[in-house]
Structure 1
Amino acid sequence: MGALRKLGFLTIGLFDGADPRAGHETTLEVIELGERLGFDSAWVRHRHLQYGISSPVAVLAAASQRTSRIHLGTAVIPLGWENPLRLAEDLATVDVLSGGRLNPGVSVGPPIHYDAVKEALYPDTAEAEDFSYTRVRRLLDLVRGERASTFGGDEGFEVFSDRVQPHSPGLGSRLWYGGGSLGSARWAGENGMNFLTSSVVKAEQSEDFAEVQLSHIREFRAHHPEGDKARVSQGLVVIPTDSATAEQRAKYEAYAESRTPRTTTPQGPQRMMFAPDIVGTSTEIADRLHAHAAFREVSEVAFALPFAFDPPDYTQILTDIATHLGPALGWQPGQ
């Protein structure tokens, strides 16, 4: 696909349960730093009943008021936890507040540990909830302005709309599906979404990560109305060490080594494949990415920041990505 056009990053936004504000503030500061460094997008993960961001839409609402240019995304909101109509209202509100910079990424499936949480989440409808792609379709239709009610008009002093308000016309084209299988890639393409592919895929036709990811990208574009022009963002973990201290380099290498065993073979009954974390100088990382079959098919990335590092580490990593790795991949700010 040529030179890299859009450079983004993804953060999980961890916090201490005894002092949650500090962690959320750090996440906002990281997003502000990303804007100053020229990144095109900043994405946040979604974590329910964990010590990570449980309400990314609220966090991005705050981020929208502390930034002016950088696009803000979710990777991803698991829709099994959400009411599509209410989520559509929240997404549209934040998109309006941000000036049209929101990029919501979503996925479907039952909530994790559903049997343990269903009585709190859906006490009356747990067995009837539909966690299929139909849930995404509902969200798409509502965000894109389809009718949400059979009633619209004046009632006394109040005025009612028959579709979600506020309506943000461009938001429908900035919805992303986070998929790791051929089926999800195909569905996202058929429904005109953008496609997020990460460091986790399902080994369906191969046990080579890059080959599997490449097959998903091509399946998505083969079924998308825009074909090869359809947007795909890749989200590998890369850790450049250009300006890292010796202590940081040792930490990064130990982190990647501890995660390497899971990358050698498919994991679990779903046969999930994990991409190795890439640690090294920007030149070394760029060489490995240029040799990566799936990377060669994309022009947008959202490199994932490692879990549980310290703020100075994230500053160093993001600075090196923006000033060394991005340019080595052909990226220029403001493309």
Structure 2
Amino acid sequence: MKRIGFLTFGHWSDVPGSLVRSAADALNQTIELAVAAEEVGAHGAFVRVHHFAPQLASPFPLLAAMAARTSRIELGTAVIDMRYENPLYAAESAAAADLISGGRLQLGISRGSPEPAERGYESFGHVPANDGTDADMARAHTELFRAAIAGARVAYSDPLSTGKRVPLPIEPRSETLSERIWWGAGSRATSVWAAEQGMNLMSSTLLTEDTGVPLAELQAEQITVFRAAWTAAGHQREPRVSVSRSILPIIDDQTRHYFGLRAQADARDQVGYIGGDLARFGRSYIGEPDVIARELAQDAAVRDADTILVTVPNQLGVDFNARILGSIVTDIAPSLG
């Protein structure tokens, strides 16, 4: 069975038309949307992490609050930029949030995307080695983060206070969280690396490569090479794969007012540059629910993934997005399997 979840960037802006005017609005409405998503039968509530921007930034307090208000749905990130993270503090925070949730966290992490701040991670105290890049640093942070979550001893006790010198793991720990770490891969090469490391795969509506084929086909290639690399690596468990999609069903006058005119304009991929690299941006699926269902059934990556993350226009408020999610779960998802 495919899982359907929402993905919010948590934008806020004090402008006419926005129902999310402040950071407090964004945080509290994200919690309420997780509750509403559970009520309409969605399977997951995921948040995007950005720094130095009016968007969600510090995920673990938010995830813990979402966990305290829900009981069934998965809670996750898509994705945490590991350039900015203290690996051991992040591992402690992730374990605590997972224990509060009863083991429902699905943590997407990655090297991250371009941020508003130039080398903003350095302001957080993280500087790449002299011969390394920020991507190298993100992978090094990831290695230590995952090791700590899995129970590696990362410090020694102080004999002066404990009477002995023994290696220590972080506390608290969640025993199974290490199996629920995903890598946000922007290319086929990074998806192979994620498989070799034993991480699940997240692929968004943006890929940092372009071969001239539609994003759905390129993502399907990405999933194929990921699963082949996973098998070759000899991992024993079955990996999970998610793809993100912009899905906006036209279900009433309000949705038609906001999105009706965009149906044709947004029906194609876009190719452009991000961070100086050529990238392909995925199309939006806008229209009547039965039309979207037929189109998504032909989407090769949607067919191959087990989880679909639906990006939501969060500034339109909780009720609006809950109606959209309800329609997707009821009217569209059944045709996807």
Q: Normalising TM by the smaller chain, what interval?
A: 0.7 to 0.9
C-alpha distance in 1, partners of 2:22/2:164? 42
TM-score (norm 2): 0.86
Which residue of 214, 237, 244 corresponds with 1:235? 244
Q: Give the SS at the match of 2:299.
A: coil
C-alpha distance in 2, partners of 1:19/1:298? 35
The number of aligned residues is: 323
C-alpha distance in 1, partners of 2:113/2:190? 15
Unaligned runs of 5+ in 2: 15-20
C-alpha distance in 1, partners of 2:326/2:45? 14
TM-score (norm 1): 0.86
Deviations 1:186-242 (A, max 9, x none): 11100111111111113343432122111111111111145994210111111122x
Residue in 1 aligned with 2:190?
Answer: 184
Q: Say what the alpha-carbon RMSD is for the aligned residues.
A: 2.8
Deviations 1:129-151 (A, max 9, x none): 85322222221111111121133
C-alpha distance in 2, partners of 1:15/1:177? 27
Residue in 2 aligned with 1:291?
Answer: 298
Residue in 1 aligned with 2:59?
Answer: 56
Q: 1:308 to 1:148 in 2, by over 3 A?
A: same
Q: Does 1:197 align with 2:203?
A: yes
Q: Does 1:92 align with 2:95?
A: yes
C-alpha distance in 2, partners of 1:316/1:150? 52
Residue in 1 aligned with 2:30?
Answer: 27
Residues 246 and 285 in structure 2, CA contact (< 8 A), matched pair in contact too: yes
Residues 180 and 216 in structure 1, CA contact (< 8 A), matched pair in contact too: no
C-alpha distance in 1, partners of 2:7/2:27? 14
- Written as runs of structure 1 = structure 2, the 5 A alignment for 1:240-279 is 240-241=249-250, 244-254=251-261, 263-268=269-274, 269-279=276-286
Q: Does 1:121 align with 2:124?
A: yes
Residues 156 and 166 in structure 2, CA contact (< 8 A), matched pair in contact too: no
The letter of the residue matching 2:118 is D
Q: Does 1:137 align with 2:143?
A: yes
Q: Give the SS at the match of 1:273.
A: strand
Q: 1:30 to 1:317 in 2, by over 3 A?
A: same
- Written as runs of structure 1 = structure 2, the 5 A alignment for 1:314-325 is 314-325=321-332
Residue in 1 aligned with 2:18?
Answer: none
Of residues 147-156 and 51-60 in structure 1, the stretch that sits farther from structure 2 once superposed is 147-156
Q: 1:92 to 1:158 in 2, by over 3 A?
A: farther
Identity, in percent, stands at: 29
Residues 118 and 126 in structure 1, CA contact (< 8 A), matched pair in contact too: no
Unaligned runs of 5+ in 1: 331-335
Residues 156 and 165 in structure 2, CA contact (< 8 A), matched pair in contact too: no
The letter of the residue matching 1:137 is E
C-alpha distance in 1, partners of 2:63/2:291? 33
Question: How far did residue 118 of structure 1 move?
Answer: 5.3
Q: 1:275 to 1:104 in 2, by over 3 A?
A: same
Q: Give the SS at the match of 1:168.
A: coil
Residue in 2 aligned with 1:333?
Answer: none
Residues 157 and 164 in structure 2, CA contact (< 8 A), matched pair in contact too: no
Residues 6 and 300 in structure 1, CA contact (< 8 A), matched pair in contact too: yes
C-alpha distance in 2, partners of 1:311/1:20? 15
Of residues 309-318 and 37-46 in structure 1, the stretch that sits farther from structure 2 once superposed is 309-318
Residues 210 and 279 in structure 2, CA contact (< 8 A), matched pair in contact too: no
C-alpha distance in 1, partners of 2:291/2:182? 30
Residue in 1 aligned with 2:333?
Answer: 326
Residue in 2 aligned with 1:5?
Answer: 2
Residues 221 and 228 in structure 1, CA contact (< 8 A), matched pair in contact too: no
